[in-house]
């Protein structure tokens, strides 16, 4: 049974610069594999008919048939009479072999292991279990003590906040999804940075929003001219931004850009959602920047935070900071998706908040060591790459100098290194010339990862690509 059907036009748009090697049928098969592995094509999706896709891509039907045959052989699709070629749920099973699951290095999720002191905090909270389970457990707003602690952290960073302005959520992604469901209607425009956090883009797209991308780069930051044009032309209902140590670039927005983008958003009546999940993750030193809302003005600015990157991804605690009226609207809307955040995790988070200076110091040291290991190894072994000295955040946004990101991701996967290709972070296509490499793993692991990445690059560096693909697609986003 299939869930949906993908048209040839839609698949063509997702494929990007796929003609990176010969034979063409295997290059096409690999490009579709990567879309499946990244979940950009969902399981149980019907692919276009061979004739339809061949016409769209300007290929012979024989070439497309051979690509589908290769995908069937590797278990990525299954041919069903009357339905065509259907993508299959794969999990970690891909390409026939990943260099032993136990030996593989997974850098698809840019999140460090748990803060070393977390187990003791869990034990302390468990000792208080009788008082925790005495509570009703259905608090849509969240535990009062935790909301007070989050509000106090904002005040320390220069943004006076009352606990009534805070809602506790099941991580930042839950907050993004809830806000998207409340703010966005089908056909609305949602403006995001490109590259951006892909799950945010997916949350807005699921609500029927039309996504508009504004470029952000490590060297030049946010393109204000393009931002102004995009906001005034498309008149979005919402802007989603990561202004501090943006994921995946690690860039931070200038004061001028914060003020100007907020002014533009206000002029068209758009709400600005600011994701600060990485804001305090300075690699060279602990940085706790003033919140965006404190600098650009609180009007129409909603701030998101989380303990996922700072403490542990498994501690599903996030929050929304906004005005009281919006909190009331969120409180009314939330029960359609969930009835609150687990009490025990909230009790743990409440105990963690006073320890944030210590936690951030440990995180800074971990990130600095990992970044430096990657930077030294890759600058030495692949001097043709643009390897940035990223000041913070969770990843490096590497410039490859050629549209090889998808091919490199697949070559690395064959060697046991799992990464996400540049197009995964794209809004509107592009970024085949970049790849995200997180530096959140321990330094010895990253040293091994760098070696595997260099070996994988040797597999794809000299592959042929079509002349029309030599210009970066990022420029036309």
Q: What is the pLDDT of residues 27-76, one digit of tens each?
A: 898 889 888 887 788 889 999 999 999 999 999 999 999 999 989 988 89
Give the pLDDT score at 97.
42
Residue 304 backbone phi and psi in degrees, to 5:
-115, 145
243 within a domain of the structure (yes/no): yes
Which domain-ending residue is among 307, 333, 355? 355
Query: Do 284 and 365 reside in the same domain of the chain?
Result: no
Query: Do 134 and 63 reside in the same domain of the chain?
Result: no
185 in Cβ contact with 208 (< 8 Å): yes
Q: pLDDT tens across 152-190, in order?
A: 999 999 999 999 999 999 999 999 999 999 999 999 999
Query: Do 298 and 236 reside in the same domain of the chain?
Result: yes
Query: Do 363 and 347 reside in the same domain of the chain?
Result: no
Residue 476 predicted with pLDDT over 50: no
413 within a domain of the structure (yes/no): yes
- Provide DSSP, 318-348: EEEE--HHHHHHHHHHGGGT-S---HHHHHH
Domain of 380, CATH number, reads: 3.90.1150.10
Query: Do 384 and 320 reside in the same domain of the chain?
Result: no
Q: How confident is the model at residue 426 (pLDDT cuts 50, 70, 90)?
A: very high
Q: How many domains does the chain have?
A: 3
472 within a domain of the structure (yes/no): yes
7-27 average pLDDT score: 81
Query: Do 50 and 83 reside in the same domain of the chain?
Result: yes
Structural domain boundaries, residue 21 = 4-87
Q: How confident is the model at residue 21 (pLDDT cuts 50, 70, 90)?
A: low
Query: Do 322 and 419 reside in the same domain of the chain?
Result: no
Query: Do 83 and 137 reside in the same domain of the chain?
Result: no
Query: Do 222 and 164 reside in the same domain of the chain?
Result: yes
Which domain-ending residue is among 333, 355, 377? 355
Q: Give the span between the Cα atoms of 30 and 107, in whole angstroms.
A: 20
Query: Do 246 and 385 reside in the same domain of the chain?
Result: no
Cα 230 versus chain centre, distance = 22
| 84 or 417, greater pLDDT | 417
Query: Do 412 and 370 reside in the same domain of the chain?
Result: yes
Cα 128 versus chain centre, distance = 36
Query: Do 319 and 200 reside in the same domain of the chain?
Result: yes
Q: Give the span between the Cα atoms of 137 and 28, in whole angstroms.
A: 51
DSSP 386: B
Q: Give the span between the Cα atoms of 43 and 45, in whole angstroms.
A: 6
């Amino acid at each position: 049974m299939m869930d949906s059907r993908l048209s040839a036009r839609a698949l063509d748009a997702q494929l990007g610069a796929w003609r990176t090697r010969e034979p063409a049928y295997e290059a096409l098969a690999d490009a579709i594999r990567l879309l499946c592995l990244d979940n950009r094509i969902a399981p149980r999706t019907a692919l276009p008919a061979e004739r339809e896709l061949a016409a769209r891509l300007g290929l012979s039907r024989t070439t497309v048939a051979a690509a589908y045959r290769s995908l069937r052989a590797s278990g990525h699709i299954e041919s069903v009479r009357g339905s065509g070629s259907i993508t299959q749920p794969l999990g970690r099973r891909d390409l026939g072999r990943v260099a032993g699951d136990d030996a593989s290095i997974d850098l698809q999720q840019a999140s460090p292991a748990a803060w070393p002191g977390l187990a003791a905090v869990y034990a302390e909270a468990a000792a208080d279990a009788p008082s925790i389970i005495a509570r009703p457990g259905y608090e849509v707003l969240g535990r009062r003590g935790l909301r007070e602690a989050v509000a106090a952290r904002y005040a320390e960073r220069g943004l006076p906040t009352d606990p009534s302005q805070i809602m506790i959520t099941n991580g930042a992604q839950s907050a993004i999804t809830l806000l998207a469901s409340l703010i966005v209607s089908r056909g609305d425009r949602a403006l995001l940075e490109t590259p951006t956090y892909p799950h945010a883009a997916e949350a807005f797209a699921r609500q029927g929003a039309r996504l508009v991308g504004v470029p952000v780069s490590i060297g030049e930051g946010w393109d204000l001219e393009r931002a102004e044009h995009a906001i005034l032309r498309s008149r979005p209902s919402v802007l989603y931004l990561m202004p501090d140590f943006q994921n995946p670039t690690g860039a931070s927005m200038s004061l001028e850009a914060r003020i100007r983008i907020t002014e533009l958003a206000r002029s068209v009546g758009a709400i600005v959602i600011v994701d600060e999940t990485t804001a305090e993750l300075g690699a060279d030193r602990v940085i706790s920047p003033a919140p965006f809302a404190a600098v650009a003005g609180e009007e129409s600015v909603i701030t998101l935070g989380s303990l996922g990157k700072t403490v542990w991804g498994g501690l599903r605690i996030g929050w929304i900071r906004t005005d009281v009226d919006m909190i009331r609207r969120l409180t009314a809307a939330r029960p359609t998706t969930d009835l609150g955040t687990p009490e025990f995790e909230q009790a743990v988070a409440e105990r963690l908040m006073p320890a944030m200076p210590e936690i951030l110091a440990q995180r800074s040291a971990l990130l600095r060591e990992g970044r430096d290991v990657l930077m030294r190894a890759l600058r030495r072994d692949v001097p043709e790459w643009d390897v940035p000295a990223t000041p913070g955040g969770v990843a490096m946004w590497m410039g490859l100098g050629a549209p090889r990101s998808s091919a490199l991701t697949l070559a690395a996967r064959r060697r046991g290194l799992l990464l996400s290709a540049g197009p995964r972070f794209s809004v509107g296509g592009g970024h085949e010339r970049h790849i995200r490499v997180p530096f959140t793993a321990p330094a010895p692991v990253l040293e091994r990862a760098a070696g595997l990445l260099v070996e994988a690059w040797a597999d794809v560096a000299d592959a042929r690509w079509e002349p029309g693909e030599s210009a970066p697609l990022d420029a036309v986003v």
